[in-house]
């Protein structure tokens, strides 16, 4: 027997809570996505402006910049 069959239906308050959680999760995901895009652009500009070759992460970051 499935546990789901034994659960009581969700109350309106619980449904509203789930909806609000979905909305805030989507907003957080969107904000993170925009932040990653801004970081990607900043990194690309930094590398384009001549990152010193002796900087150990320069090549790694240049490669990572092409992944998105």
In a domain, 44, yes or no: yes
> How far is CA 41 from each of CA 17, 56, 66, rounded to the nearest angstrom?
36, 20, 11
In a domain, 3, yes or no: no
23 vs 27: CA distance, rounded Å: 6
pTM of the model: 0.56
In a domain, 38, yes or no: yes
Q: What is the pLDDT of residues 13-68, one digit of tens each?
A: 999 999 999 999 999 999 999 999 999 998 888 888 875 566 666 666 666 666 55
Q: What is the DSSP letter of 67?
A: -
In a domain, 55, yes or no: yes
Q: What confidence score (pLDDT) does residue 63 get?
A: 65
Which residue range(s) make up the domain with 56?
12-65
Instruction: Write out the two tokens for 30.
Output: 């969107």
In a domain, 7, yes or no: no
> How far is CA 20 from each of CA 8, 25, 27, 32, 34, rounded to the nearest angstrom?
21, 8, 11, 18, 21
Indicate the number of domains in the chain.
1
């Amino acid at each position: 027997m499935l546990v789901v069959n034994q659960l009581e239906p969700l109350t309106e308050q619980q449904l509203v809570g789930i909806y609000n959680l979905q909305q805030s999760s989507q907003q957080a995901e969107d904000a993170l996505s925009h932040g990653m895009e801004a970081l990607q652009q900043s990194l690309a500009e930094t590398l384009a402006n001549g990152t010193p070759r002796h900087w150990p992460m320069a090549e790694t970051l240049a490669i990572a910049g092409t992944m998105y």
